[in-house]
Chains A and B, each alone.
Chain A
Amino acid sequence: MAQATRKKPAAKTADATVSARIAAQGHFRTLRLGTPFQPRLDALAKTQDWYNWAGYRAPHSLWDEELEYFAIRSQAALFDISPMIKYRIEGPDAEAFLDRVTLRDVTKLKPGRVHYTAWCDDEGFVLDDGTLFRLSPTRFRLCSQERHLPWLLDGAIGFNVTVEEETEAVAGLALQGPTSFAVLRDAGFAGVEKLRVFDLADFPHDGATVTISRTGFTGDLGYELFVPADKALSLWDRLMTAGELRGIRAIGYTALNRARLEAGLIVANADFTTAEHAIRADRLRRPDEIGLGFMIDPENAHFNGRRAILEARAKRKLRHVLVGLEIEGNIPAEHAIVYHKKHQEVGLVSAAMWSPMAKRNIAIASLARPYGDTVVEDLWVEIYAMRELQYQKLMKRAKVMPRPFIKLDRRTANPPADF
């Protein structure tokens, strides 16, 4: 019956849809996809230390996670961000739609600019955070950790806008570190020096266009580059060639994760649980509870979750707070319990490290208010440091610190310095 239908010429489109669908069956043979940069990563992956990033094979490290970190701080580091989820949002109502869906005021985001934002469900619980790129007056790219197509499509009802997932079609690279500007300039991206922090612009590359923004996840001078997937390898080669004498190195996530912690940036489903994945209702978080309260402008007319968020503020229903901690000593306090007066449990460290830049023992923690909010004295963390099959139990004093933990003038300097 189905066969007969397929032979009718009128059913040609349906036929093509079915053929395309059948052609895609074989994905079960490759559970972790390679990114468009995979041939280059594979060639450099001396540690063969992979992890699963949203269904892609991504490197924890490539050759030496320590040196990879220092490439970010002292040279230029190239990190493949292709697995990041990307949505293309386009149409006359794109601005209004995104203003409705996301927390920050999108009417203030000019074409050619990027901002860090987040979005919430109807109860004001955070679904994810991400970056919003305004590519033109009517075209945006939203990058996020988790997937949100049903949420975005449902939100788009009533707006003249299209939402398309373009994760596989668009390859992305982060080029971060003091020499990153010089690498781009030497690679021939004329005019890249004009980019101020959170600016973006298009540049020609290999018969196509690469979108370069002065953004990143390291708190350092750095850029992110987005290019059609089929131009990925030529872009990689162009940067690597130009950066050879500027110490350019490909890096894995371990190094990046250190840099982001020094920069005080949070990671969804590491430092907080996203609302669509929280099985336990008490794990949900409002923006004010994970340090994203700054995104909310109560005057901004109408965004999703606004009523619940403002009500929680007014009725003091905010139960948690996310803080930066400086911990005495030099032993990282990863996933340590935070105490008040050494005995009352008040929270948990979600990320911690010894910061080579700040020369401090730093951490991000979620605390139960009022601890970390109005009560910031007498906080402690209990560190269980496993040393040769014995826990060295340490009770160390913790001080609430403003984030970022490091501030580098070169990140914002204009024009960017030629290192």
Chain B
Amino acid sequence: MKAWDAIIIGGGHNGLVNACYLQRAGLDVLVVEKNGWVGGAATSRELTPGFLYSNCSYVCSLFRPEIMRDLELPRFGLQVISYEGGAVFTRDGDYLANYRDHDAHRREFARFSRRDAEAYDRYARDVTRQCRFIQPLLMRTAPDPTSLKPRDLGELLYLGKKFAGLSAEEMALTLRFWTMSISEFLDEYFETDVIKANFALSGIIGTALGPMSPGTAYVLLHHYMGEVDGSVGAWGYARGGMGAVTKALAASFKASGGTIRTGAEVDHVLVSRGKAKGVVLAGGEEIYGKLVVSNADVKRTFLKLVEEKELPDIFLRRVRNFKIRGSSGKVNIALDSLPEFPALPKDSPVYRGDMHFTDSMERMERAYDDWKAGRWSTDPFLDMVIPTTLDPTMAPPGKHFMSCFVQYAPPKVNGREWTDADRNGFAESVIAQIAEYSPGFRDRIVHMEVRTPREIEAEVGLTEGNIFQGELTFDQLLFNRPVPGYAQYRSPVRGLYMCGSSTHPGGGVMGAPGRNAAAEILRDLAKSTSHMSPAHDVI
């Protein structure tokens, strides 16, 4: 019976990135995907005729340029269309926009506060400094601080040197940044509520924390990372939806000789004498492989796909305690015409950017209060985009696709499972909010896909529907991601690796976990990594 060199469980973007790098290193690689399509949380699906939805992830910002280059994604059809701005609508009939142009940005802020307008440069400087510190770590395997191996010591030294290279003031800021709340961080720069709310949203997206929870400042950093090395089109829509990213990855993989099996759900990993031997599909079919790489999150991998007896107790306990709480949902809407927002001038670039309705820190925190009480937010935080204003391939002419990322949505409602009635209530909270700012909005709706944590977990396989495969709080980062001692993509089971966003450096459609895992696997196999570009310098 054939034994593949490597079997990748899950055809999400990290699974595919990992598969591409391994295949290009000369391995014979199989990707098994439970759904009838690849993509994981980076998919585009036509659920109603003529409309393509970016079902889960909806913007492209963090994908590492080194990976795009190595895997030739532009050649395989990936196009990213930059978007031009965004706005928070305010309840007094106005909005606060973000413009790409530095001076327009300042003048926009000055409409609300001249002081805050002039505070932006210092804020941008400090955030950029922090990003420059973190960014080079993204494409490196985190060192094991308990290891005495020369490589770990070297990496620790690298970390230490980077830290020692900071001034006393920066060091203090770095430590505070990693631990403080986004609300407190913004208080140090800005005085206007809506301006703070505008920046704070990046601190809570995908996280089961509120803007006033410690640790949220770092989440903001994670979202800014895409902009550090000045990659052109840092924030944009993938033409054809986010599925275009994984479509290009799959094409690249196949072009280099890789094999993908869809509709092949893995029931469990075959383990013999502490070593992974392959996978058993839901139908009972056994597929053998010299090594197995899981793109699934750490909980799904080790609590569902591997038998408990194969795993050490402490590891299991830590996996169980890994925070991967469901906090968000998604409402995808097909519209028969472009919605109007009377507050927004008709020629505003904001129509082609991201729109929000949460104009104060308190509203944002109140939305989180609902989550803590086990309810979806009655006044949710929305990150709303209309990609069809820039991408005609996703809807028929004149019609539009709108993507709403919705926060907060609890993994369970009042301690019980979500019901269809709950899901409708959740959708209604979103529609009601949009309709408040866009008269006639309801009448434009042709079709809707409503995804609570229940649907996201069931379809994509993300535990609790957590978009980052585990929260990006500092206790779960670097050598503690996903659990201490196993931050280098390996697991207690020999030959079983992790490559999903549960691993360093975490979530977002970045590709770095998949790439870093491939580098570790090839190191174990004593194979060359010369086809992998090193991380770009930050000078």
Contacts and interface: CB of A to CB of B under 8 A. Distances in A.
24 contacts: A2-B90, A21-B111, A25-B111, A25-B345, A26-B345, A27-B104, A27-B107, A28-B97, A28-B349, A31-B101, A31-B103, A54-B103, A123-B169, A149-B117, A150-B115, A150-B116, A150-B122, A165-B114, A276-B121, A277-B121, A279-B125, A279-B132, A281-B129, A281-B167
A355 B449 CA distance: 70
Interface centre among A123, A150, A277, A281 (most CB of B within 10 A): A150
Interface in B104-120: 104, 106-108, 111-112, 114-119
A55 B111 contact: no
A179 to B, nearest CB: 35
Contact of A2 (B91, B122, B345): B91
A149 B118 contact: yes
A82 B109 CA distance: 21
Contacts of A165: 114, 118
A149 B106 contact: no
Nearest to A149: B118
A311 to B, nearest CB: 14
Nearest to A123: B169
B103 A32 contact: yes
A18 interface: yes
A316 interface: no
B92 A6 contact: yes
Nearest to B128: A279
Given A21-B111, A25-B111, A54-B103, A278 B122 contact: no
B196 to A, nearest CB: 14
Given A21-B94, A28-B99, A147-B118, A55 B128 contact: no
A370 B345 CA distance: 59
A300 interface: no
A108 interface: no
Interface in A258-279: 276-279
B204 to A, nearest CB: 24
A153 interface: yes
Contacts of B160: none
A54 B107 CA distance: 11
A109 B111 CA distance: 35
Contact of A1 (B91, B103, B112): B91
A54 to B, nearest CB: 7
A6 B169 CA distance: 45
Interface in A1-56: 1-3, 6, 18, 21-22, 24-29, 31-32, 52, 54-55
A123 B170 CA distance: 12
B346 to A, nearest CB: 11
Contacts of A153: 115
A28 B108 contact: yes
A281 B166 contact: yes
A281 B170 contact: yes
Which 5 A-B pairs give the minimum distances between C-beta atoms? A55-B103, A149-B118, A2-B91, A147-B118, A150-B119
A307 to B, nearest CB: 15
Nearest to B84: A28
A3 B342 CA distance: 13
B284 interface: no
B112 A278 contact: no
Given A26-B345, A123-B169, A147-B118, A279 B129 contact: yes
A319 B103 CA distance: 34
A418 B189 CA distance: 52
B429 to A, nearest CB: 16
Interface in B81-96: 90-95
Contacts of B348: 28
A148 interface: yes
A276 B125 contact: yes
A28 B350 CA distance: 10
Contacts of B94: 18, 21-22, 25
Given A25-B345, A277-B125, A278-B125, A55 B169 contact: no
B313 interface: no
Contacts of A1: 91
A373 B118 CA distance: 36
B420 interface: no
Interface in A143-190: 146-150, 153, 165
Contact of B103 (A6, A52, A278): A52
A25 B102 CA distance: 16
Contacts of B93: 2-3, 6, 18, 22
Contacts of B92: 2, 6, 18
Contacts of A22: 93-94
A150 B126 CA distance: 15
A21 B112 contact: yes
Given A2-B92, A29-B347, A279-B132, A147 B121 contact: yes
Interface in B174-231: 189
A251 B46 CA distance: 60
Interface in B495-529: none
Nearest to A284: B167
Contact of B107 (A6, A55, A148, A278): A55
A149 B349 CA distance: 28
Contact of B106 (A55, A276, A281): A55
Nearest to A24: B111
A149 B189 CA distance: 12
Interface in B342-362: 345, 347-349
Contacts of A32: 103
A281 B128 CA distance: 12
Contacts of B128: 279
Interface string A370-404: 00000000000000000000000000000000000
Nearest to A163: B115
Given A24-B107, A31-B101, A279-B125, 12 more contacts: A1-B91, A25-B94, A25-B95, A25-B345, A28-B99, A31-B103, A32-B103, A55-B102, A146-B121, A149-B117, A149-B118, A165-B118
A32 B104 CA distance: 9
Interface centre among B112, B115, B118, B167 (most CB of A within 10 A): B118
